[in-house]
Structure 1
């Protein structure tokens, strides 16, 4: 078929037509039918609703054709189907998907950036893009980035409006993180953090929550609490994956209650000050606490050891510190032992992974965070004090044991932070192949888990590739010394 002038013929859409000036983002007119895979009817209906609404917003003047813009082109009754999010973060935000689904088709109630971000994630979670979709995933991403800047610039004092902007930034950051695009992920998590502190969501004490107008409802109060902790989680995810400093100020006074999945629980009694408590807290709270442990441990390690506390490539363990670097004979700082005691106590109080819920990732990721923090704390000191190696191997074994209880093949989505966390465990096991006989068995379990999950997350695939390269190099090194 002869190509149109200026069209590169790329399928399913023409990149030149879509991305070059004037950047209209209009798709090429070639038809395209994806091959393989299916999507559920529920996801398909949600995607169609969102994309139709986006199309109306983009072409509002043309669609109205002189009619009254205040008219709403919807029919009742509204759909009662709930959109089932699959990522662990999906239940940390909007507690009422049906309410969101209804407002999504009403004019001017939700900003364009959030609508497009939801459609972007619906497309991303689908096994296969819809053949009749107006926009591809790449186009939805470009539109989300475009509209979020405009929506933030437009501003708005309403709490709901600010929550929408924060949610859009979180969705963008998590999307980029899942694809391993860490620069963009960090950019948008910094934006979300700024919006959270500007809005005062870090100081939602019981008294401040009572000042929220009653007509706004309890749902808004819960969403404001969840908004803060969702941003904290994405912040700590990015810190673990990219070794960039936290966007959360260390000296910021935080009085926001811990998040909860239980609507009848008085969240005001679960304040941030209760850092070590486990009983009565929701799985999301335990995940937030565990991620805080890792982020603070990485900060301590980088500040005191002089070594990059990065989970990237798991560089800490193999390098380690020598007595010369810490000062031969000098004791470890008292803060080190305080952090160790807190980590050990918190890990001992965590509930075990519930085998009855094999697809529950939150418990697994929580345990991985805590044990990752223990690895981060002790790995630089393996040449300084005798127990450091044993502490690291115990933490690695705990993660391997939790993986054995998880039915990874049943997962439809995966938390991308498992990429750097599992890679750090693998690095410890690779470094101890000659010291501990069972290290090889544990390493194979980690590699097998990463191979299973890599199909669901490009970030995990990146870490799997790096870990496999390290393993191959270690085997070759051992072989050259006749130790394999």
Structure 2
């Protein structure tokens, strides 16, 4: 894949890193020589079109030509001038609120993208907000981001084609509205936009909006709903909820943001803004979330006293029950996942108390696995429930993989528990018909990528041992590991059709393993196209 050192690279074909640093680039993929030397695993190329400078130069040339034509009095169709701030090309045709298909796609995938409001109430308000205006029940930015996600997964080609224009309208109308009566809408906009950007593999922008969502949660005191329901809140004082459903929306909003924060900050290796500490006034007392039907039936937990929700969950397995909402399961799995990352990041087996913490968390993860609903039974229910529960099963196995990952060393490339967790995650994939899921939480790409890398590490080890078997006595063999590895890559290939992030991670895994075992990377990648 490398390009000869003397080969001439066409203008505009350099990777973005070399272009930004004005360095000579050889154009090699997945990583050019300059980036490889700097330790960058894969380059970013902008092969889709001209560079920003080329676009600017072309625009300047067009304007100069237009000026000459105006001076000479000649007509021209080169440039069509529009009124500023209202470009007609950015106003797509919006779906009709009276259509039976109104928000059909969003209604199905909203939970996967962090939607936490009452869907039916929200849809009624959305119908009254098309087209959006200053007087609409729903703020314009939230209207457009919901339509953006709806169009993203729409089967209507014309509607799907409006995605770029809808994103432009989101950005054009987005503002941080901190009025107490609009805060939940502002928070929902941040969450949905963050998920969308992660889905599109725009990680920095996604991280920015995720951090903004966490800041809003803390400012509104949503982390202390269990202890402040009858007391005044500090920061932004939200109006009292009108009913149990609105109260439930706030509870679900908090745990939705916790999931977003705990999962994506681990992957991006950035510190969380929301830490569960009494001394920092960020102790989490909000009760675990329910399904919306529970709030509709008035099933609100009693509040008033600090309950230390997360600490009670970590220290007391009795808090687990067989009947928990999907969001509660996802939040608990995310917390265990993030705790595993913390221990792995501060790995020091010789430190006092380290082994006790390690064993306690390992046991707690296993206990939580024991109460998860069966995927085979869930496969007969709604696709959104199957997608959510599949994510939980794979997430909790990734927590085990992450916790035991530091034991993997060059001389000991296979850790039995980590490999078993990876293969259990693969078994979870095999229990559902993933080709019928259509789309999935974008974080599934990160999880499947971790499973794929774990299996790739094991595969390299068993192949290098040429049938001798892993040195640590693991029951894995080359054929079994290869089958699990292929299953993961096939799943990623299916999901990558709808999720650019998963597609990018798939390419990285295949290239990495192919190069390491001496196979031609393009040949291996072609198997999954």
In the alignment, is residue 284 of structure 1 matched against residue 327 of structure 2?
A: yes
Match among 171, 186, 196 for residue 145 of structure 1? 171
Distance in structure 2 (CA, Å) of the matches to 1:128 and 1:462: 26
- 1:169 is the counterpart of 2:195: no
The 8 Å contact of residues 379 and 389 in structure 1, kept in 2 or not, is answered as yes
**1:379–1:388 contact (8 Å) kept in structure 2:** no
Give the TM-score normalised by structure 2: 0.67
Cα contact 1:412–1:456 (8 A) shared by 2: yes
Instruction: Give the alignment partner of residue 294 of structure 1, picking from 326, 337, 345.
Output: 337
CA distance in 1, matches of 2:272, 2:410: 28
Shift, 1:27, TM fit: 4.2
The runs of 5 or more residues in structure 2 that have no matched partner are 1-58, 66-77, 233-237, 463-469, 471-475, 521-529
| Pairing of 1:275-354 with structure 2 (within 5 A) | 275=313, 276=317, 277-304=320-347, 333-353=355-375, 354=378
Aligned-pair CA distance for 1:413: 1.9
Q: Are 1:421 and 2:447 counterparts? A: yes
Kept after mapping to 2: 8 A contact 1:372/1:425? yes
Q: 1:95 aligns with which of 92, 110, 119?
A: 119
Q: How many residues align?
A: 399
Contact 2:126 2:137 in 1 (8 A): no
Runs ≥4 in structure 1, deviation > 6 angstroms?
20-23, 78-82, 209-215, 384-388
C-alpha deviation, 1:375, in angstroms: 0.7
Does structure 2 conserve the Cα–Cα contact (< 8 Å) formed by 1:193 and 1:231? yes
Gaps of 5+ in 1: 9-15, 33-43, 51-77, 306-325, 479-484
Partners in 2 of 1:284 and 1:331 — Cα distance?
32
Could you tell me whether the CA contact under 8 Å between 1:17 and 1:26 is conserved in 2?
Answer: no
3-state SS in 2 of match to 1:239? helix
* Residue in structure 1 matched with residue 283 of structure 2 by the alignment: 253
Does residue 301 of structure 2 align to residue 268 of structure 1? yes
Q: Does the aligned pair in 1 maintain the 2:251–2:289 contact within 8 Å?
A: yes
Q: Distance in 2 between matches of 1:266 and 1:384?
A: 53
Given the superposition, is the C-alpha separation of residues 7 and 245 from structure 1 closer, same or farther in structure 2, using an over 3 Å criterion? farther
The alpha-carbon distance between structure 1 residues 303 and 238, as it changes in their structure 2 partners (threshold 3 A), is same
Report the CA distance shift for 1:82/1:28 in structure 2 as closer, same or farther (over 3 A): closer
2:268 counterpart of 1:242: yes
Residues 440 and 229 of structure 1, relative CA distance in 2, 3 Å threshold: same
Q: 1:358–1:430: structure 2 CA closer, same or farther, 3 Å change rule? A: farther
For the pair shown, the structure with the greater C-alpha radius of gyration is: 2
What is the CA–CA distance in structure 1 between the aligned matches of 2:207 and 2:239, rounded to whole Å?
34
Q: Is the 8 A contact 1:278 1:350 kept in 2?
A: no
> How far did 1:355 drift?
2.7
Superposition TM-score, scaled by structure 1 size? 0.73
Query: Paired residue for 1:228?
Result: 254
Residue 87 (structure 2) pairs with residue 26 (structure 1)? yes
Q: Deviations over 1:363-408 (max 9, x none)?
A: 1100111111111110111359999811011101110110001111
Question: Shift in Å at residue 81 of structure 1?
Answer: 7.0
Cα distance 1:404–1:27, how it changes in 2: closer, same or farther (>3 A)? same
| Shift in CA distance, 23/243, structure 1 to aligned 2, threshold 3 Å | farther
Contact persistence 2:256–2:327 (CA under 8 A)? no
- How many Å separate the matches in 1 of 2:331 and 2:86? 38
SS in 2 for 1:48: coil
- The whole-number CA distance in structure 2 between the counterparts of 1:177 and 1:215 is 31
What do the CA deviations read for 1:215-234 (whole angstroms, capped 9, x no partner)? Answer: 72222112111111121122
Change (3 A) 1:330 1:198: closer
What's the counterpart of residue 482 of structure 2? 440
Whole-angstrom CA distance in 1 between matches of 2:165 and 2:192: 16
Q: CA deviation at 1:331?
A: 8.9
One of 333, 358, 367 as aligned partner of 2:393: 367
SS at match of 2:494: helix
Q: CA deviation at 1:293?
A: 1.0
